[in-house]
Amino acid sequence: MRAIEITKAGGPEVLALCERPMPQPMHEEILIKVEAAGVNRPDALQRAGAYAPPKGASDLPGLEAAGEVVAIGAGVTRWKAGDKVCALLPGGGYAEYVTTHQDHALRIPKGLSMVEAAALCETYFTVWSTVFMRGRLQAGETFLVHGGSSGIGTTAIQLAKLYGARVFTTAGSDEKCALCKKLGAEAAINYKTQDYGEEIKRLTGGTGVDLILDMVGGSYIPRNIRALALEGRLVMIAFLGGPKAELNFAQIMMKRLEVTGATLRPQSDQAKAAIAEALRENVWPHLDSGRIAPVMDQTFPLEDAFRAHARIESSGHIGKIVLTL
């Protein structure tokens, strides 16, 4: 099969088209003929040598894809050959064929193309597990998500709004802020021209927000702590601005805050299956109805994966980037 491999740690140019043996489905695994594969920040981190795949996972990048089930392993009961699915992957999505656990695949929502379906799993698994399962967001609460125009951000805005939260976000241009407000954000703060801490204080009457989802880290961490309300929660999912910061832990103690974080890829098959089941029940019906939908940026053919990585690392994208086969 054709695939994209990482020839060495480095920039987008180290991605190269190659020939690899077709993977075979193991116990409770399905083999998917890939029609489209999502491109995500963890793929770029892996390419740069900063995010090694878990033990036993493919060394090929790609954490989500959509396509047709063409073979099943022993013990598979959920799917059969010919089914069309989108799936969360442990790796290997940048290829013509990929395997994944049967419980990590979901049906294609009504009305969505394969390209759109390929943009779902990594972001929806991440947002549901961090915002709703770990962050415990409730209707009526205030929620701030940084990077509102990213795949994670556009998903988080829509889901939080759908479930009755007041949603605030940050983004890096007026165009991106306008899109975030169209998706349901009550306020979108241009972090290049505004102080988001001061804006959050103004928007909440000085109380702060109940939950923050942050992928920036670095200097944002102490600012997030100050922006949280009493008994607020901060969930970290990435560190684009660096993993270290100086914190005043007295603020955490006095405001009774929770500071936590999560990564999706290293979690157990059982944990990912539980997230998938929650998505089937709570999110997929809203995708079917069109109340929410993935926000799409650009598509690139598989052989141009290096261009897709350059695009995502430029931070000029709005929504999801997808490779097509």
pLDDT tier, 241 (very low <50, low <70, confident <90, very high otherwise): very high
The distance of Cα 139 from the centroid of its chain, to the nearest Å, equals 22
Q: Express each pLDDT in 18-77 by its tens digit.
A: 999 999 999 999 999 999 999 999 999 999 999 999 999 999 999 999 999 999 999 999
Same domain, 198 and 228: yes
Domain limits for position 198:
124-261
Are residues 183 and 77 part of one domain?
no
**CA-CA distance, 32 to 64, in Å (whole number)?**
11
Model pLDDT, residue 313: 95
CATH number at residue 231: 3.40.50.720
Please report the pLDDT score of residue 215 as a whole number: 96
Same domain, 257 and 270: no
What is the number of H-type helices and E-type strands within the chain?
A: 11, 15
pLDDT digits (tens, 9 = 90+) for 138-174: 999 999 999 999 999 999 999 999 999 999 999 999 9
Domain final residue pick, 228, 261, 294: 261
Whether residues 131 and 246 fall in one domain: yes
* Residue keyed to tokens 């009774």: 256
Q: Are residues 253 and 138 in the same domain?
A: yes
Cβ atoms of 240 and 216 within 8 Å: the answer is yes
pLDDT at 106: 98
Confidence at residue 95, expressed as pLDDT on a 0 to 100 scale? 98
Judgement on whether residues 129 and 248 belong to the same structural domain of the protein: yes
The pLDDT, as a whole number, for residue 71 is: 98
Estimate the crossing angle of helix 151-162 against helix 174-183, to 10 degrees: 30
239 DSSP assignment: -
- The number of distinct structural domains making up the chain is 2
Q: What is the pLDDT of residue 229?
A: 98
- pLDDT for position 295: 98
CATH, residue 14: 3.90.180.10
- 174-179 average pLDDT score: 97
Return the exposure string of 263-284: e unless at least 16 CB atoms fall within 10 Å of the residue's CB, then b.
Answer: ebbebeeeebbebbeebeeebb
The total of other beta-carbon atoms located within 10 Å of residue 90's CB is 22
**244-250, long-range: CB within 8 Å, 24+ apart, which pairs?**
244/218, 245/217, 245/218, 245/219, 245/220, 245/221, 246/222, 247/221, 247/222, 248/222
